[in-house]
Amino acid sequence: MLGSLLIVFREVMEAGLIVGIVLAATQGIPGRGRWVAGGIAAGVAGAAIVAVFAGSLSAALSGNGQDVFSATILCIAVLMLGWHTVWMTRHGREMAGEMKTLGAEVVSGERSLAAMSVVVAVAVLREGVEVVLFLYGIAVSTHSGPAAMLTGGALGIAAGAALSWLLYRGLIVIPLSRLFSVTGLLIAFLAAGMASQAAGLLAGDDLIPALGYEVWDTSWLLSDGSMVGRAAKALLGYSDRPMGVQVITWAVTLATMIIATRLVRRRPAARA
């Protein structure tokens, strides 16, 4: 539940920031709310279609095929998490500027409300597709049930929407750089856990070398089937009896994401 809450909260907050900037930049335009709402609805519908096809494809596979499909989705989710985190770190301010420019063009008549609606729809669709892939990855890596996933997702939507609205209304002032840094670090651990689980699935089918079985056994201290163990597995990628390839994959993925993010943050400072 915690993993799905974190992912959905982050994605909803990012989409909410885009929508909030567009709304703030187009104040006074009649009917802007309907066009923005239509864009949001179109984006959500597109993400739902992706979710249906992903679930149907997974259900159609069996045996090793399903393991390979699950591992592939996990790898795609890890790559997207890494790319998305680095991209937002580098281009977040530019994106905010582009949304403000779009709003100014709508106000001046250079752009139509339909164009604004399309931009909002694409933004929501992008975040929605990422949510679908990430939640599928969480479900595979942590074996979370639908009830826990739905609860975490609903809480994430509520928290992300509430924070976005408060930021839009100017009721709270949060240094977004710190907020994204904290969630980015948590997402790095989440991605490392997904990569580790993908390696475990492939090694279990003898598609890649396991590099040792049960490198350690901490089930006596913290079982990954317990409530606390499930939370640690969802947020940190914890496993009480991991394979060697899982440990290596976890460490390499985490180090790569952290180093890449820090390098991207230093570039603007170096240019300045």
In angstroms, the CA 194 to CA 173 distance is 33
| 148 pLDDT above the threshold of 90 | no
- State the pLDDT at residue 245: 92
For the chain, how many structural domains are there in total? 1
| Ranges 64-78, 142-156, 258-272: which has the least confidence | 258-272
Q: Report whether pLDDT(32) > 60.
A: yes
Task: Measure the CA dihedral 185/141/137/212, to 10°.
Answer: 80
Lowest mean pLDDT across 20-24, 63-67, 83-87: 63-67
The confidence band for 132, taking pLDDT boundaries of 50, 70 and 90, is confident
Which residues, other chains included, contact 104 with Cβ-Cβ below 8 Å and sequence gap of 6+? 25
Decide if 139 contacts 229 (C-beta within 8 A).
no
Q: Which residues span the domain enclosing 11? A: 2-271
Q: Which residue has the tokens 């309907």?
A: 34
Torsion region of 256: left, alpha or beta (phi above 0 gives left; psi -120 to 50 gives alpha): alpha
DSSP one-letter code for 206: T
Whole-structure pTM value: 0.66
pLDDT for 131 beyond 60: yes
> With 90 as the cut, is the pLDDT of residue 248 above it?
yes
